Structures are given as C-alpha cells and as structure tokens.
Chains A and B, each alone.
Chain A
Amino acid sequence: MDEKALIAAARRGHTHSFNELVSHYQDMVYNVAYRILGDSQAAADASQDTFLSAYQAVGKFRGGSFKAWLLRIATNACYDQLRLQKRRPTSSLEAVYTDSDPSSHFVNGRESPEEFALRHELGETIQGGIATLPPEQRVTLVLSDVQGLSYVEIAQATGASVGTVKSRLSRARARLRDYLLDQTELLPAHYRLRSEG
C-alpha cells in the first residue's frame, strides 16, 4: 500500500482510496477506542466518527504521520464518547463487565479454554484498571502500551508536550500497577505482579 499516493488521491476526493486507508487503520482505531472506552458500542461509534471526520478533513492533512493524525481524530472522538458516558454512567460500567466481543476470543488458535478463560479474566481486570484512570492518562497509556506509539507520536496525537506525555504515562502506569497489586488475589497466579520478587 502506497500510503502517500492513497492520501493524495483521498485529498482529491477519491473515496475508494480513502477507504483503503480506512481498511488499513480501522482495527487500530477500533482497538484504541475500545481500550480507552471499555465498551464495544461506544468504540464502534467513536471509530465511525473518526473515519467520517477524517474523510471530511483529509483535504486539510498537511503531511507528516497519517497514523498520528488519524489517532488524534480518534482520541478526540473518544473524549466525546467519554463525555457521553459521563452523562450516562451506567453504560460504561455495564460495558466493562458484560462485553462479549467475539473478536477477543481465542486470538491465538492454540489457546486452551482454560488459558482463554484466564486471559479473558485478566483482560477484564486490566480493562477495569484502565477505566479508573483520568481520561488524559487513559489515552496516553493506551497509545503507549496498547498501541505502541513513541512519546513523540503520542504528543502529536494528543496535542500535549513530550514532557507532559512522559509524566502522564508515569502516573498512569504507577496507578494501574497499584490497582493490579490490589487485585492480586483475583488474578491468575501466572499473571500476578510479584512485588516481593
């Protein structure tokens, strides 16, 4: 995929080229949105809004990292969804514990049901920990440790300075670590944090 050519065509209003970009990035956008929001429906809405906004704004894209540009739009869409969740707090709580997105099942085909159950439980616990973080820390943590973005990319995607990204990430990780240590008894032994080690 020649990303630059696709972006150039998309800027000229070529929807098919833009849709190729969508196909390439939609899992990333949805995954980030899901980890930030903890709710598959809200994540789908945020993803849809992200690509619609991107389609309408692609003419204003001035080069640089398309991925960071797209994630910035996605982050804003997530903030919008978080504001909506704040108005309707029950939906997000339900989502954390009742989400049964089949795409998370058996990611690797050799996984046994027990392993899946453990990992699923772990995933829910971690997701619950992410949900306790303030929005900015949540977004920074997800972009860094779930999506693997560098500090500079995160700074571009969130509009914050690298120093801010660094401190937000430090606090987010420490907070999540403390949360997981509190949940130690709930976690499978294999995944327990070994603070005494």
Chain B
Amino acid sequence: MSLLGKWRKPEHQWVEESLSAYLDGELSPAEKTRVEQHLQECEACAQNLATLRQTVSLLKELPTKRAPRSFTIRPVTVKAKRAAAPPAWGYGLLKGATALAVLLLVLLVGGDLAMHFVGAPLASWGPGAPAEEIALAPAFEPSMAPAPEEEQAILGHDKTEAPAPPTNQEEPAAPLEAADDYETQEEMPTAEARAEETTPAGTPVAPVPSGEEPLLEEEGVGTGAGETPPAALATPTPASTVGQTSEPTAQPAPETAPVEAAEEREAAPSPTHTPQVLAMVEVPQREGEVEYARGAQPEEEALPFSALRLAELVALAVLVLLGTATVVSAWLRRRSG
C-alpha cells in the first residue's frame, strides 16, 4: 500500500502538471489515457481540471482591446525614429564629455589652488614675519653670490617706492611700522637704526656704502632701465658686502635711486625668485605701498593666474553647457521611453 502510495503521488503530480496540456489537446494518446484514468480516481485532480477550464474560458472571454489609433508607417515616422536613435550613443558621448569637463575643471582649479599656495608665501611672508625675513636677508648676502644682487635691485625698488606720494597718503597716521619703512627709505641713518632692532625696512639699509653706493645704484638702475636685467642685478653686489659694515653712510643712496629704480624693477622682475627677495617685495606692500605691489605682481604673476582663471571660466562654461545638455537629453530619453 505504501509502495502504491509512493507511486501514486508522482502520478498525481504528473497529471496535475499535464492538465493544462490535456485541456488544449496537446497530449499524446497514451498520455491522454493516463490522465483520464487518474481523473476517474482522483477527485482533487478532477476539481483542478474544472477550475483550470474556467480560468481559461474567463481569459478567452476577455474583450479584445482594439488599437486606439492607427500604427501604419509613414516615412516621416521612420525618419523620426531613426533620428531619435542617435541619442542612444550620443547620450553616452555627452555623459563622457561632461565627465571630462568636470575632470578638466577639477584639474584647473587644483592647479590654480596649487599655484595659489605656492604663491601664498608671497603674501604671507610680508605681513606674517617681515622683520625676521628681512633681518636675515642682509646676513645671507655675503655668503650667497646671486642673492645680494637681486636684493640690491629690490632694495633699490624699495627705496624708490618709499618716497612716492601714495605711501604717505595711504598711511599718514601709521606711526611705528610705517615710519620704519618711510624712514629707512627716506632717511637712512634713523631708519637703519630701527631696522636693526625690529623692522624689515632695515634691509634696504645694509647695502649702502658711503661713496660707491650711489654710483652703483645709479649704474644698476641705468642698466636696468636699459632693459638688461643681468647688468642691473650685477651692479649691487659690492654694495651688499659693504653694506653691513657701513650703515649710516648710506644716506644718499636711497634718494638718488628712486626714479630709475622704479624702472629697473619693471625691467628686471627676476629678483622675486629668491625667498629673501620675495620677503623684501612684500614689505612695502604690507606697509601700504600699493603701487609697488601693483607694479610688481601684475606683470609677473597675473599672467599665469589670469590664464588659469580664464581656462577655469571656459571649462566652467563648457561644463554648464554639457551638463544642461546631458540633463535635457536624459529627460527626453526618459520621456520618450
């Protein structure tokens, strides 16, 4: 009996699974006979067959849905479909281009930031630790051959800028720090005295030898004005060596230098490359010598910076355009389905 049960169970399952095909007349004659035999014995399978038959007849009773419109082909439809096809790959291309634009913008901004941080010391040294930097500057001069030259060139600028009217206008009331600069530039002896103690302004003082310095300065200036920077740079060297020892005698130097030194500065921008020089450059800026800053920076740094900014702007504009196009095409694709 149990053996029969085990045999009957698979038979029941087989019949149950074959009822659908039995309904459709899709069974072989042998299978059909087997099902019919089982149906006579198995009430459950007979009921299953009845409900399946009802289900099929209900499905067949479903009303036929008629096409809500004509789907006939018009050449225009085909063309439209073909024209609509490109977005499939065009969309991918657009997304890729947008990603590239993002990458480009990131690179540009990164480069800009990097340049900004590289350039940051320019700004931070001046206001941050001007006294130390400049106090050190003269000390380096004897040991480092090229540095003094540059410094001297710059010292010339400092001096030239100092007497310029803007400084007085901008910081008329600035008593201590500004005074240091002004004084060092205008009145060497007093300025140097203070410079030794605290201020950055002390640096310009160092170079000046008594009788030679004016000449040297003028020579340097002259060459600088003649737009031969190397020559201009070369001239100050002796001044720096002498400067440390004979400070007070330097008086004439600053006053003779002013006008030409300004020109020299423009002609020889190279000094800014050494740290000392950078520090020197920034001193006047901190003190309010805006003109100096304007004169020196735009010519040297504004170019790369503005080029970067321009590139960033262009990349941003391209990104905005591509992003808009991508969003619009994504929307269109979703809409068209």
Residues of chain A touching chain B, judged by Cβ–Cβ distance below 8 Å, are 15, 18-19, 22-23, 26-27, 29-31, 34-35, 40, 43-45, 47-48, 50-52, 55-56, 84, 101, 103-104, 107, 119, 122-123, 126-127, 141, 144-146, 148, 151, 166-167, 169-170, 173-174, 176-177, 180-181, 191, 193-197
Contact = CB atoms under 8 A, between A and B. Distances in A.
A174 B52 CA distance: 7
12 contacts: A22-B70, A31-B64, A31-B65, A107-B64, A122-B58, A146-B59, A146-B60, A173-B20, A173-B55, A173-B56, A180-B58, A191-B58
A167 B64 CA distance: 26
Nearest to B82: A56
Contact of B65 (A19, A104, A151): A104
Given A26-B70, A52-B81, A170 B63 contact: no
A50 B337 CA distance: 14
Residue among A44, A148, A166 with the highest chain B CB neighbour number at 10 A:
A166
A166 B69 CA distance: 34
Nearest to A107: B63
Nearest first, the 8 A-B pairs at minimum CB distance are A170-B20, A145-B59, A30-B67, A19-B72, A103-B66, A107-B63, A34-B65, A177-B55
A197 B67 contact: no
A27 B73 contact: no
A23 B70 contact: yes
Counting contact residues on chain B (CB < 8 A from A), the size range is 35 or more
If over half of A's interface residues share one DSSP class (helix, strand or loop), that class is named, otherwise mixed; here it is: helix
If over half of B's interface residues share one DSSP class (helix, strand or loop), that class is named, otherwise mixed; here it is: helix
A105 B323 CA distance: 47
A30 B66 contact: yes
B62 interface: yes
Contact of A15 (B20, B21, B48, B73): B73
A119 B69 CA distance: 24
B22 to A, nearest CB: 10
A30 B56 contact: no
B56 A151 contact: no
Contacts of B17: 167, 170
